[in-house]
Structure 1
C-alpha cells in the first residue's frame, strides 16, 4: 500500500479507473477523504494536470473594474455639483443672516425711538392734564363775575361791552378745555397703540434673535462638523409660514405701526425702504449676472484651445500627398468636432450677449432707483430734520405748556 498514490490526490478519472479495475468497496476511502492532509504525492507523475484544473481570476480585469468602481467622470461631475450646491446654500444662508441682522437693527432702533416717543407722550399728557386743571380757576372767576353782574339794578342791568367780553372769555375757555380733553383722549389712545406696537416690536425682535442664532449656526456648519447627521425625509417637511417678501413686509409693518405720530414720515420711510430693498435685490441680481458672465467668458475661453487643436489638425492633414488626401473617419470626426465646438461657442456668445444686455438694463434700473432714493431721502430730511425741529422748538407763551399738536 505504501507504493500506491494517495487516493485523495488522484484525479476523478484515475479514481474511477482504479475502482473499475479492482472491485473494492470505496466507501471507507470516501469517508477518509476529508481526513487526509492536502499534500501532493511524490509517486504521482502527472502532478501538473491537477493544477491545470484550477482557474485563476484575471488580475487586470479585476483591477480595471475596481478603478471604474472607485472613480468615474460622473463621480467628478457629481462632486463638483455637490460642492457648488453646498457653496450656494452657504451663500444664501449668509445673505439671510445679513437680512435678519439688518431688520433686527431696524427693530431695535425703532424700539428706542418708540420708548423716547412714549416718554415724551407721557410728559405731554402730564402737562396737558395740568394745563386743563389750570383753566378751571379762570373759568370759575369769569362765571362769578357774570353772576355778580346779574345783581345790577335799574338801567345798569344791561348787556354791555364788559359782559360780552366775559361771555366770550367763557366760550373761549370752554372751547380750549374741549380741545385739550379731545387731545388728551388722543394722547391716551396713542399711548395704548404705542404699548401694542411696542409688544409687537419686542416679539418680532425676540423672533429675529432666535432666527439669527439658528441661521448663524447652520451657516457655520461644514462637512466635518460634529453636529451634522441624517434626517430622512426632512427635505419634504415644509413648515414655513412666509416668503421673503411677506417676511420683510411683516417687520416693516410692525415698524410702521409704531410710527403713527409721524405718519407722513413713515410713508416716505416705507417708500425709501422698499426702494432700498428693490435696489438691493437688483444689486444681487447684477452680482449673480456678473458671475454668470464671467463663467460664460471662461467657458468660451476654455473651448478656444480644443477648437485650435481641431483646426490645426485639419490644416495639417491638408498637406498629405496625392491619394493620401483621403476623407477618412478621422477627417469626418474632426470636421464634426469643429462644427460642434463652433456651435457651442456661438451659443455661449449669444448667451453672453443676452446676459450683458440684461446687466445693462439692470444698471439703468439701479440708476433710477438711486435717483428715487435720493429724492425720498431729501424729503425725509426736509420733513423730519427741518420742519419737525422747528415745530418742536416753537416758543410758548407759558413755560409749563407745550405744543400738543399731533403730527
Structure 2
C-alpha cells in the first residue's frame, strides 16, 4: 500500500534489499531498512531550537530555548503492514526455513552415505590392488627363481667351458709352441756338429717325427679351440640375457614391494597428475612369462651343446698329451744313446777343464784380495793428508816444519808407493788370468770336435728338452 504525497524517503520508495532476509530477529542479524521522514524546515527549527513569541525574549534551559507552546505532533504518512500480514509472512519464512533444514538434513544423510560408500569402494579397490600386487610378486618370485636356477647352471657350465678354453689357449700359445721350438732348436744346434760327428742318426729321425706329431695335433687343437670359443660366446650371450632378466625382475620386485607396503599414512606418497593416463607398458603377463621361459629353454640348449664340445676338447687334449709325451720319450732315449758314444772324450775334457777352472778360481780370489788391499790404503792416506792440511792452519811462528811434518809427508809417500806396487801386482794377476783363459781356449780348441758334439747333445739339446711340457701342462693346466 502507498499514499500519495509522501516524500522520497518513504519505505516503499527505497530499493529492495539485496540478499536473503535475516533468519532471526536478533540484534546481531537484524538490519533496519527504515529511514525517518524529512521534516519541514519549520518543524526542524521548532523541534531543534527554542520557540518564542514575537516581541518576547526566548527562555532557554540547559543552553536551549524553552517554548511555552506544546510540540507539534507529526503524523506519519507512509503505509504499515497489518499484524495478519506480518504473522503470515513470518509463518511462511518459518516454513521455508523448515524445508531448507529438512533438505539439509536429507543431504547430509545422503552425503554421509555417499562418503561411507566411496570410502568402502576406495578401500576395496586399494585392497584389490594390493592383492593383485601380492599375486604379481608371487608370480615374479616363482619365475625369477626358475631363471636364477637356470642362470646358476649356466654359470657353472660357463666356468667349466672357460676353463677348457683357457687350457686350449695355453696349449696353443704357451705349451703348443714349446715342443716345436725345442725340436727345431735341437735340429738347428745339431747342424753345428763338426767333422765326422755330423751324421743323420736316430736322434735326428726322432726329432723330425716329433715335429710332425706336434703340428698335426696343434692344428686339431686350433679347430676345436675355435669351436669352444664360438660356443663360449653363445653361452655368454644367453648368460647376459638371463642376468639382465634377473636384474630387471629384482628391480621390479623392489618396486612392487615398495608399492605393496605403501599406506595412506606413508610419507612417500604424492600426486602425479595424469599418470594413470600414460601407458608405457611393453608386455602383458603372457609375453612377460614367455620371454623368461624362452630364455630358459635357449639356455638349456646351449648348455647341452657346450657340454658336448667341452668333452670333445678335453678328450683331444688328453690324446695329444699322451702322443707327444710318447714321442718325446723316444727322442730322449736316442739322445742318451748318442751321448754315451762320446762319453770317454767328455771325461777327458772334464779333467782338464777342472784343473783350469780351479786355477782360474784361485787367481780370481787373489785379484779380489789385491783390490781389497788397495782400497784399505785409502783411509790411512786420507788421515795423513788431513793432518797435513790441518797443520797448515797453525798461527804465525807455530807454523813450523817440525818432525811430525816430516813423518806425515813420509807416510803419504810410503802409502803411494805401496798402492803403486799393489796395482802392479794386480795388473800382473790380471795378465796371468788372461793367459790361463787363453790356455783354456786352446785346450777347448784341441778337443773341439768331440766337445762340440757333446756340448750340443747334452748341454744344449738335453737342457732345452728339460723344458718340454709335462703331461699336466700339455692338457692346459699351468
Greater relative contact order (CA < 8 Å, ≥ 6 in sequence): 2
Global fold match (TM > 0.5): no
| TM-score (norm: length of structure 2) | 0.38
Q: Which has the larger radius of gyration?
A: 2
